[in-house]
Amino acid sequence: MPTYRMDLAYDGTDFHGYARQDNVRSVQGDLEAALFRRTGPIRTVVAGRTDGGVHASNQVVSFAVDEPLDVDALRRSLNRQLAPEVAVYSIVEVPDDFHARFSATGRGYRYRIWNGPVLDPLSARTAWHVERPLDVPAMDLAVGGLVGVHDFASFCRQHQGRSTMRELREATWQRSGDFVELAIAANAFCHQMVRSIVAISVEVGRGAMTPADVQEILTARDRSVAKGCAPPWGLILTAVEYNAANPGFSTSHMTP
């Protein structure tokens, strides 16, 4: 059975997340309905199951079919059906053992904050509006202390039997005008981990907490000591990494 890798992007505003759900709209539901017209019934596997309202500039999906596909014709067909909210950049055949989720070695996200008195309306769907001025160097110092292999239980929504140990490879906050952005990468992220780190970072930026407080939260390994989650609409999946020796490997198609 031929196996294919698809790279795509989407505006997650009007979707209830990537994963198919009954009676609500999802990226997977729309994508598989569009694929059905060309392939018949099909089930996709995704690199990262983004939550409702979360966006992707580089998401990866894999799927297997009975017969080889005309990938150029399929890509054009999907883009006609799914535009403007979903864009398919490429579809390539890959080895049968390629799996969008389990073959991935890392994932990267950005979180965007509009830190000014008046929100730019063109950024309203993709940035959290925080009016109070933020101390970005303090925020950057706070997340820098999270880099490494840790138990991130304080920052993750708990799921029975699932580990919260993760290797955080990068976490940096930077300001560009009214935009304040977090670039963050890990081998994998547990549920709501990035949005929880953002929420804590904003508390530091507002002066309500210190970077040392964030270290105490990390070592507590207790979800109740953290301060909720940032809104989903500022979060963008920007990269999925695969081992370069794997023929399914490619770099991101877009950067935010």
Rounded to whole angstroms, the Cα distance separating 123 from 100 reads 30
Domains parsed from the chain with CATH numbers: 3-103 (3.30.70.580), 105-236 (3.30.70.660)
- Has 51 been annotated as catalytic? yes
Helix, strand, coil in percent for the chain, rounding step 5: 25, 30, 45
DSSP state of 18: S
Contact status, residue 229 vs residue 196, Cβ threshold 8 Å: yes
Q: What pLDDT score does 18 carry?
A: 97
112 contacts 179 by C-beta, under 8 angstroms: yes
| pLDDT for res 255 | 37
User: Which residues share a beta bridge with 239?
Assistant: 108
Structure confidence at residue 246 (pLDDT): 52
Among 7, 11, 30, 51, which one carries the catalytic annotation?
Answer: 51
Q: How confident is the chain (256 residues) per 10-residue block, as mean pLDDT? A: 96 97 95 94 94 97 95 98 98 96 97 97 97 98 98 88 92 98 97 96 97 96 90 98 64 39
Find the length of the chain.
256
pLDDT at 256: 34
